Chain A
Amino acid sequence: AAAALCWALRAARQVLPSPCPRQVRSYYVDWRMLRDVKRRKVAFEHADERLRINALRKNSILPRELQEVADKEIAALPRDSCPVRIRNRCVVTSRPRGVKRRWRLSRIVLRHFADHAQMSGVQRAMW
C-alpha cells in the first residue's frame, strides 16, 4: 500500500527509439535514480585508471614527487568517476535506505513481492 503511493512519481527520461517489441521501461523512478545511473556509468569507464593511479600513490617504493603528481592526476578525473558516490538504491522505488543487496529492493517492496509469492524461494520466516 505504501509502496504503491511511491510509485506514482515518474520522471521524464529520453529513450532512443529502438526496435524493441516488448514493453520497455522508458522512465527512471526519479532524478536521483537517474544521477545514480550516470555515476555508475562514469565510474565504470574510469575504473581502471583510478586503480592504476591509486597503485602508484599508495606505495612506499616510488619517490614522493611521483606520488604527488599522481594525486593531482586523480583529482583531475571527473567527480562522478569515483565509486564512493554510487548509492545502492532500490530498483523499483529508488529508496536509498533499507535496500537489501541480494535483491536490490527496498525492504517494503521486498515484503510486498514476497507476500504475493512473486519472489522465488523467499518465504516468511517461522521458527
Chain B
Amino acid sequence: KDKSAASKDSTPEGASKRQEDGAETPKQQLLDIIGSMKVEVSYRKKLQQLKASERKKQALNKLEGPDSEGSVPQGATEDTQRGKPLNPKLVKAASAVASSLPRNKEQTESELLAQLRRHEETTDKQKKGGTVNIRDVISEMTIKRQTPAQRSVRISRRISLQLDEDGQRIRPERSSAQFVDSRRSLKVGKRLNIFTKASAEPEDSLKTVSSPTIWDLEFAKEVAAVTAQPPRNGFEEMIQWTKEGILWEFPIDNEVGMEDDAEFHEHIFLEKHLEGFPKEGPIRHFMELVICGLSKNPYLSVKQKAEHIEWFQKYFEEKKELLQEI
C-alpha cells in the first residue's frame, strides 16, 4: 500500500513537470508522450484504490449531507479557498487527464488536484528549507521481503559457491539481488531530497596565466616539502633515488645522455672543416693526420671533434708570424 502511495505521488509529479515544460523541444514532446502512456497504465490501479477510499468518504458525506454531487462543488470551493491557488495550467492538465480516463471524471479531477496540491506543498516546504522528517522517510520505506522463488535461487547459489571467505560469498548475492528485485526499482518512490544535485557549472574561462610570482613558487616549494613523506619501504626509496638521478633507470640504456643525432658521414668525412688551412705544407699534413685520428674515434661527438679542429685553427693563426719566419 505504501508503495502504491509512493508511486502515485511520483506520477502526478511527473505529470506536473511535463505540463510545465510544455512543447519546448521535440525530445520533450516524445518524453511527454511516453510519460503519458505510463500514466494511463499505472494510474488505473491507484484510481481503484483511491475510488475505494473516496466512496467511503462519499458514503459518509451522504449520511451527513443530502447531495452526492455536492461533494464536487465542495471540493471545487475547497480548492479555491485554499491559500495557494494551483497553477491554472496544471488545473487544465488535470481536467484533460481526467477526461481522457474512462472512469468517473469529476472524481478523478478532484483526486488529481488534491495530489497536485500536496505536491506543491512539499515543494514549497523544500524551497523554504523544511527539515526532512526522518520518521516520514522511514515510514515510506518497507522491509525487503524475499519471494519464495528468489529464496530458492539464493539457497542454491549459497550451496554452489565455494566457502572461501564470508565476504566473497555474500557479494555476488547482493549484486544480483539488486537487479533481480524488479518490483522495487530504484527510481520509483517519493523523492527524499536528501542529496542536492551538483550543478554542472560551465568551466570558467581560462584565466590569463601571469608569470608565476615568487610567492607562488615559495608556496609550491612548501607544499612539495610537506607532501614529500619519507619512504615507507625500499621500493619507494628506490623510486625517489631514480627521480633524483642517483639510481639508473632499468633496463639499463647504454646511450643515456648520449644523444648523437649525427650520421656516420659527419663523423668520418671531416675535410670540410679543413677549409681554413693552407693547402700545402706541413700544417696541412698535420691536420690531415688529426682528422684521420678523429674519424676513427667513436667516443667523441661531432661537436667535440669540430671543437678540436677549431682550436687548432686558432692556434695556427696566432702563430702565423712565427711560422712565416721559418
Contact = CB atoms under 8 A, between A and B. Distances in A.
A62 B319 CA distance: 13
Interface string A21-57: 1000000000000000000000000001000100110
B290 A55 contact: yes
Interface of B: 228, 282-283, 285-286, 289-290, 307-308, 311-312, 315, 319, 322-323, 325-326
Interface of A: 21, 48, 52, 55-56, 59, 61-63, 65-66, 69
B289 A61 contact: yes
Nearest to B282: A61
Contacts of B290: 55
Given A55-B290, A59-B286, A59-B289, A65 B326 contact: yes
Contact of A66 (B308, B311, B323): B323
B282 A63 contact: yes
B128 to A, nearest CB: 57
Candidate in A59, A63, A66, A69 with the most chain B CB atoms within 10 angstroms:
A66
Contacts of B312: 52
Contact of B322 (A48, A52, A59, A69): A69
B73 to A, nearest CB: 86
Given A52-B308, A69-B319, A63 B285 contact: no
Given A65-B326, A69-B322, A52 B282 contact: no
Nearest to B308: A52
Contacts of B282: 61-63
A45 B240 CA distance: 32
